[in-house]
Structure 1
Amino acid sequence: MGKVILVTGASSGIGLACANALQAKGHTVYGSSRDISRLKSVSFKPIQLDVTDDASVKAAVDQIIKAEGKIDVLVNNAGNGVTGPAYAMPVESAKQQFEVNFFGVIRVSSAVLPKMIEAKNGLVINISSLAGLFGLPYQALYSASKYAIEGYSQSLRMELRNTGVKVTLINPGDFKSDFTQNRAKVAFPIKNEQLEKEYNTAVASMEKDESVGANPDVIGKKLCEIVEKSSPAHRYLVGAFGQTIAVTLKRVLPGGIFEKLMNDHYGIK
């Protein structure tokens, strides 16, 4: 039996792939974007929703509940990236990063969950990142926002233990999308040739990884599998083995060695 599913940030990349895959499986899918004009000619139901705006979130959730009577699955996918040096990051940039990636998750979840709890049934899938499990150089804000999702999701899962509502995480590696071109880059703020060179090298490396990443349809397929499970796992790592293995390496290697491996990958010698 098809489920009613809300996918945030469905205008491109992972969100679009997930919404299309779920719709193809026979679910009733509402895919959101803050700019609904970006959702033309999609297979699912487009809906305007800005995760940074309380009124917009409430209006979208109310619209779905009025039309469908429920939301069975919430996929918190909407997100963006801010790149820059952690040692000189403007607080305003940090606020902008968290407003979408973390507070957006809280806004939408808090709007959807009361109805799920009332129905004693539901599934919340939070799209985190491998960067939510280990820090990345010059992606401190992005990593921090995804780390926050990790803690929030675990606490939420514990609180909802006896309600019938499940919470799980997907931690993707690098996938091809317009995330790269939409990433906000903070201008290098200090005079230090070595650090500036390392910054530019690290950013070039991460963009190269993203450019050769897999198609986001891989995540859409995994999401369809998760939605059908009666007891989904707490976490799903999705990505190339060379990236997902870093989660294990962080656990078993001394901290200094792990960080050196990560720095080497990003060209910081």
Structure 2
Amino acid sequence: MNKVVLVTGGSSGIGKSISIYLKSKGYTVYGTSRNPNRYPDSPINLVAMDVKDPISIKEAVVEIIDKESKIDILINNAGVGITGPVEETPIEEIHGAMDTNFYGPLRVLQAVLPYMRKQQSGRVINITSIAGYMGLPYRGIYSASKGALEIVTEAYRMECAHLNIHFSNVAPGDFATNIAAGRFHAPVIEGSDYAIGYSKTLKLIDEHVDDGSDPMEVAYKIYDILQEKNPGIHYKVGSFLQKFSIVLKKILPEKRYEKMLKKHYKL
């Protein structure tokens, strides 16, 4: 029988690439969008969902269950970017980023897991970020939101193992998507002690996205993980240097690693 997949944030970027590729491999795929009507030519089925709205999540999940009677795989991909000096980032924007990037996946899981328990099977892949492995300057809130999702997945994995529900994380590096367009940028405040460093970092971040790899690389990795009978916990997808930065954090003295990051961001 075809596996039924739910991909949050499936209308663009990495989520769209995942959805299209899994559909090409024979999966029945449902992506989500806050406004599916904006994508009349979408190559995949889109259902309305806002991961910040529990009612819309429940309605979307019920819609899929009514049509397919099951959800075999959940890929929590919906997320938002946020940049700025932590001190100067409005608290309401911090709440918004955490609401989407961390609480959002938890809400979707609370809606989907009861059906997976009933099925006595399920796969969950949470899309995090290589940025979640380290506190990056002027991306601290984004790093924190993705790092939190990495950690909570470890807990879910142990709690749900006896239910035959398998959890994994996939942490992408920089990929060529439209994330920059929807990212919240705290304004560069003229005369601020952070203005020079933040301006440099913003430029570097945008260059990384513009020069990023094809998001289909993430889709290929997701497919490979789904073929594994006993999937691992943490997977990384990105350039060699991006993935190696995680290794370096483990083996280098803390201050030396911090110095390396500051040099990279020209701080």
Q: Which bin holds the TM-score, normalised by the shorter protein?
A: over 0.9
Determine if contact 2:22/2:219 at 8 Å carries over to the other structure: yes
Matches for 1:1-269 after TM superposition, within 5 Å: 1-189=1-189, 191-192=191-192, 195-268=194-267
Q: Distance in 1 between matches of 2:147 and 2:123?
A: 20
- Give the deviation of 1:152 after TM superposition: 1.2
Determine if contact 1:80/1:183 at 8 Å carries over to the other structure: yes
Q: Distance in 1 between matches of 2:29 and 2:132?
A: 27
SS in structure 2 at match of 1:160:
helix
Spell out, residue by residue over 1:132-172, the C-alpha distance to the aligned partner (whole angstroms, 9 max, x if none). Answer: 11111101110110011012101101101211000000000
Q: Distance in 2 between matches of 1:235 and 1:152?
A: 12
Which amino acid letter does the alignment assign opposite residue 156 of structure 1?
A: Y
- Give the deviation of 1:38 after TM superposition: 3.3
Spell out, residue by residue over 1:109-128, the C-alpha distance to the aligned partner (whole angstroms, 9 max, x if none). Answer: 11001111121100010000
Structure 1 residue ranges (4+ consecutive) displaced by more than 6 angstroms after TM superposition: none
- Give the deviation of 1:41 after TM superposition: 1.8
SS in structure 2 at match of 1:168:
strand
- Give the deviation of 1:189 after TM superposition: 4.7
SS in structure 2 at match of 1:97:
helix
SS in structure 1 at match of 2:149:
helix
Q: Distance in 1 between matches of 2:75 and 2:39?
A: 17
Spell out, residue by residue over 1:175-224, the C-alpha distance to the aligned partner (whole angstroms, 9 max, x if none). Answer: 0000012211111357335x211100011111111110101011111111
Q: Which moved more, 1:38-47 or 1:78-87?
A: 38-47
User: Percent sequence identity over matched residues?
Assistant: 38
Determine if contact 1:116/1:122 at 8 Å carries over to the other structure: yes
Q: Distance in 1 between matches of 2:73 and 2:38?
A: 23
Gaps (5+ residues) in structure 2? none
Determine if contact 1:206/1:266 at 8 Å carries over to the other structure: no
Q: Which moved more, 1:83-92 or 1:161-170?
A: 83-92
SS in structure 2 at match of 1:52:
coil
Q: Distance in 1 between matches of 2:234 and 2:151?
A: 13
Determine if contact 2:188/2:199 at 8 Å carries over to the other structure: no
Q: Which moved more, 1:220-229 or 1:23-32?
A: 220-229
- Give the deviation of 1:85 after TM superposition: 0.3
- Give the deviation of 1:233 after TM superposition: 1.0
Q: Which moved more, 1:42-51 or 1:195-204?
A: 42-51
Q: Distance in 1 between matches of 2:202 and 2:117?
A: 43
Gaps (5+ residues) in structure 1? none
Q: Distance in 2 between matches of 1:190 and 1:43?
A: 45
The RMSD of aligned alpha carbons is 1.2
SS in structure 2 at match of 1:79:
coil
